[in-house]
Chains A and B, each alone.
Chain A
Amino acid sequence: DGGITQSPKYLFRKEGQNVTLSCEQNLNHDAMYWYRQDPGQGLRLIYYSQIVNDFQKGDIAEGYSVSREKKESFPLTVTSAQKNPTAFYLCASKGPLAGYGYTFGSGTRLTVV
């Protein structure tokens, strides 16, 4: 079955540590996205990529980095520069037609300890 997989489901980070969240899709989608969601809040766009080897900053890119070396993969690194990283992180992908919505992964819940 086609889908989008995020791992790990739960992640704990120490202060000052970089961590990488994985996102893999087998839907053959060109566009992929990373969102952050805080409790009781909406989705905020961190980074997005419309095509391999290209990506753009979203609304809250500071303290995060991404790469898009393969069509299937769009990992997100939460760096030590992100001062408040505890949140629910969602990865999504989208097909080429305007009428299609996003397919989301099941999310990674990151907690700073």
Chain B
Amino acid sequence: RKEVEQDPGPFNVPEGATVAFNCTYSNSASQSFFWYRQDCRKEPKLLMSVYSSGNEDGRFTAQLNRASQYISLLIRDSKLSDSATYLCVVTEPGAGNMLTFGGGTRLMVKP
């Protein structure tokens, strides 16, 4: 079983749409959670951390459900520039807080 699972997509949405991605993780002791964005042929870049109470950064909202061990990312008013792969990332407390990456969800926003 993969430690961090994501739907690979692609999610094809029109500009202005709202889209949501979910991610599940297997280690209930994980303490820190992140969403990274990766553009084609580029390195991943931190999009936002995910806090227990949920957090928002502009059009992006991240939520954490510890009981069900899933994380979500909601993107409102999608822009063409949001097209990328979104990686769900979880720390592994037993391994020096090393990060474990999901396989990514690909988003394509179309005009």
Contacts of B31 in A (CB 8 A): 98
Interface residues of B in 88-111 (CB under 8 A from A): 89, 91, 93, 96-99, 101-104
Whether, in the assembled complex, A105 has its beta carbon less than 8 Å from a beta carbon of chain B, the answer is: yes
Whether, in the assembled complex, A55 has its beta carbon less than 8 Å from a beta carbon of chain B, the answer is: no
SS of A interface (majority): strand
Q: Are B96 and A104 in contact (CB under 8 A)?
A: no
Q: How distant is the Cα of A59 from the Cα of B45 in the complex, in angstroms?
A: 22
Contacts of B98 in A (CB 8 A): 31, 33, 45, 48, 94
Q: Give the interface size bracket for A toward B.
A: 20 to 34
Q: Are A101 and B99 in contact (CB under 8 A)?
A: yes
Contacts of B45 in A (CB 8 A): 104
Whether, in the assembled complex, A20 has its beta carbon less than 8 Å from a beta carbon of chain B, the answer is: no
Q: Are A106 and B43 in contact (CB under 8 A)?
A: yes
Q: How distant is the Cα of A42 from the Cα of B9 in the complex, in angstroms?
A: 13
Residues of A in contact with B (beta carbons under 8 Å apart): 31, 33, 41-43, 45, 48, 50, 88, 90, 94, 98-99, 101-102, 104-107, 109
